[in-house]
Structure 1
């Protein structure tokens, strides 16, 4: 109820829709080909994402408006509460944020969706700090625990910056070719592969779906009060060992699955062959794809462990009794989104500052 406004749902329906569409591109070859077909295909994907956003936001907004109707302090006369009008307003708020994020991406610096998500995380920090300081003054928590958390998060920021900037560079050699009357000589280039090519949002967002969607279906069929369903829900709560183990395995596997899509070795090998490029000492075609697959797999092990560790931070604090109030809000995932957004803005600002109005680097 604190967020009772037309922006009550934030931009999460759009984020969830984008993740679902991205998952479909992993398993539906036709959609995958559409995304790789150029600008027209990307526009079609964006249109499908908006349609799915409308479905998600309408469903959530209707549930939100219906829930408000049952609170007498907010709605004294439920018969006069316009559920349809409230639902429409909340859905409109979602699409205003979607439009704003697209304008920020198009005309500003940085990714609009990431900026809005980062702002959502950052605005909660002053309130969390104030709450922790109040408890510290009251003696409810120790100063050493607070200092330990401060040091831990500073170290975590440093680790995120180092890992997100790390690359495994593969040397690629392009053959000589003619462009008009010019003869371009043999040239070398680097094919960079990130340690964390999967990002954070898709693996960590989808991992709980693997367990909770079947569990929700089982609760719908046999009833939520069934002993097995109730026990499963109890063990899958945040901070429970079973939840930590299962979600960690899911995040680790999803990091590999999504990296295989982002850095498709077969597609990359085919693109290199079309441009007369080759990895020195590796035959073109299938041998190049196998080599890239090995390199990407070994690199992704580090990235998957890194993502899993970030995802576990708040739960480990909770499990071992080292958590501070609101520690679930200030999580490794939120910190990763904020740091990556800042790094992205830094890169784009640097590119702009190194380029003159004619588009040529100084």
Structure 2
């Protein structure tokens, strides 16, 4: 409480904190405002059961998708556009030159990112609106008013949802500039956390779940959070030494430094890519399988293949293909994403240019080989650890025989590997920024015990 009091005692930090909270509350308020032509009562009764690609979007939008709100897509199109632009700067030489041009190049890349966001929003919004038109509530009510023409509904819906995402993008930039933490990450963080009270209450009210099972699940989720913190904070430090340099009229030895590689350099991206690749065929197979009436050869094959991609399949043998494919995809994307963002050749060249070297390793080609060898050694255990965190909720549900319960599945899916990595990563990053502000003003850090990585000792 004394640390919280210190935060509120600093006027500048207090203003930043209150501004951030106000923007996040505005985001949550907009999540309940539906797009024109939608019946909110029917929408509340129409959430599909089971896992689909829409569940991923709904998790990151804070439940706004299945409410068909103005923030249905959240800020994920902007994140997706940023990821695409980051990949293009590595693949396309012209984009790489733009990135090296300094502030002017970055502004141009940001402009392309915003244009890509608009395109992604328009395409995704159209698919959501087509889905909404075909859906009905449990009582048979259509989600979209019959009095509104389809052309008007599609046009106003695309404009509304796209504008909502652009507003969130702007709000995220305002948090980054005037608040605490990274704005886009905090908006996703707030959307995921907002689902926690409802999921917990649904689980508690469910008479089919025993109190002992709830206790075990609570302990497991706390343990998963602790393991995620370890994975996020884990680094491999390589000592660096720089040659002597002239300082005034004397030759002095440069201060020793270290080169730090995270155990999980790719962060949550391998899980996002792997989940997207698996959820797409799951959704297509679910559409082809149908509801079981009027079975054809295609629907029968789709039903058989659907079982092999189901983490909650009836037997463990049928669950194994999903676990194996998911783990392989996460490991592959961990190596792929790290290779894009960490270039050993460029790193070795920069060290050689500025007179730095790794003790015992020759500059140049030998340094490049040493860095590659170190990265390969830490990426594999980090990726396996990441895959274990992503699959842990499914293992727990299957071991406790809770796979028939939709409330438990919803809680596990909401706070599974992807969401948990985002929650922990954003929370740690924001905490570090608050702590840096406190230390800068000679206050004790946010936590008295257990120093965070990067705190001044």
SS of 1:311 mapped into structure 2 = helix
From the superposition, tell whether residues 103 and 180 of structure 1 become closer, same or farther in structure 2 (CA, over 3 Å). farther
Question: What residue is the counterpart of 1:174 in the other structure?
Answer: 242
- Show CA shifts across 1:302-354 (max 9, x none): 21112111221233234442452422112132122111111101111222223
2:191 maps to 1:120: yes
Structure 1 spans left out of the alignment, 5+ residues:
none
1:159-238 equivalences in 2 (<5 Å): 159-178=227-246, 184-200=252-268, 202-210=269-277, 225=298, 231-238=304-311
Aligned-residue RMSD, C-alpha: 3.1
Question: What residue is the counterpart of 2:149 in the other structure?
Answer: 79
CA contact (8 A) 2:285 2:303 kept: no
Q: For this pair of structures, how many residues does the alignment match?
A: 353
What TM-score do you get using the length of structure 2 for normalisation? 0.69
1:108 aligned to 179, 203, 206, which one? Answer: 179
CA contact (8 A) 2:239 2:257 kept: yes
Question: What residue is the counterpart of 2:434 in the other structure?
Answer: 349
Shift of 1:163: 2.4
Whole-Å Cα distance in 2 between the matches of residues 182 and 101 of structure 1? 49
Whole-Å Cα distance in 1 between the matches of residues 211 and 440 of structure 2? 48
Structure 2 spans left out of the alignment, 5+ residues:
1-42, 45-66, 137-141, 288-295, 313-318, 443-455
Question: What residue is the counterpart of 1:133 in the other structure?
Answer: 204
1:317-356 equivalences in 2 (<5 Å): 317-320=396-399, 321-322=401-402, 324-326=408-410, 327-355=412-440
- Runs of 4+ aligned residues of structure 1 deviating over 6 Å after TM superposition are 179-182, 212-220
What TM-score do you get using the length of structure 1 for normalisation? 0.86
Shift of 1:28: 3.8
Shift of 1:295: 1.0
Whole-Å Cα distance in 2 between the matches of residues 208 and 163 of structure 1? 19
Whole-Å Cα distance in 2 between the matches of residues 99 and 19 of structure 1? 18
CA contact (8 A) 1:132 1:325 kept: no
CA contact (8 A) 1:215 1:229 kept: no
Question: What residue is the counterpart of 2:357 in the other structure?
Answer: 278
- Show CA shifts across 1:73-94 (max 9, x none): 5403242753211210111001
From the superposition, tell whether residues 216 and 64 of structure 1 become closer, same or farther in structure 2 (CA, over 3 Å). closer
Moved more, 211-220 or 29-38: 211-220
CA contact (8 A) 1:244 1:315 kept: no
Question: What residue is the counterpart of 1:41 in the other structure?
Answer: 105
Moved more, 206-215 or 114-123: 206-215
Moved more, 88-97 or 325-334: 325-334
Question: What residue is the counterpart of 2:116 in the other structure?
Answer: 52
Whole-Å Cα distance in 1 between the matches of residues 91 and 306 of structure 2? 29
CA contact (8 A) 1:69 1:75 kept: no
CA contact (8 A) 2:390 2:417 kept: yes
From the superposition, tell whether residues 184 and 109 of structure 1 become closer, same or farther in structure 2 (CA, over 3 Å). farther
Shift of 1:276: 0.8
- Show CA shifts across 1:226-252 (max 9, x none): 665554444324444322211210111
Question: What residue is the counterpart of 1:142 in the other structure?
Answer: 210
2:329 maps to 1:250: yes
